[in-house]
Amino acid sequence: MRPDQLEWVEAQRKELNQRRQGAGERLTDNTLIRVALDLLKQHQGELHGVTEDQLRKSLGLTD
């Protein structure tokens, strides 16, 4: 993972854990990564390309 991705995951985890106010399970970085992988699996039919850039574009990711 890139440094910006790691920073984003950490920030999201902290924010989501603050919002849950003790309810539910404690979220981890791995929780968010597993959810992201499930989302990628759900859209596997749209995934095309041989480079990271092509794969990202096939899913509509521009940044």
User: What's the pLDDT tens digit per position in 26-63?
Assistant: 999 999 999 999 999 999 999 999 999 999 999 999 87
pLDDT at 22: 85
Task: Report if pTM > 0.85.
Answer: no
Nearest to 6 by CA among 38, 33, 37, 44: 33
Going by pLDDT thresholds of 50, 70 and 90, the confidence category of residue 18 is very high
pLDDT at 13: 97
pLDDT at 63: 76
Judged against a pLDDT cut of 80, whether residue 5 lies above it is answered with yes
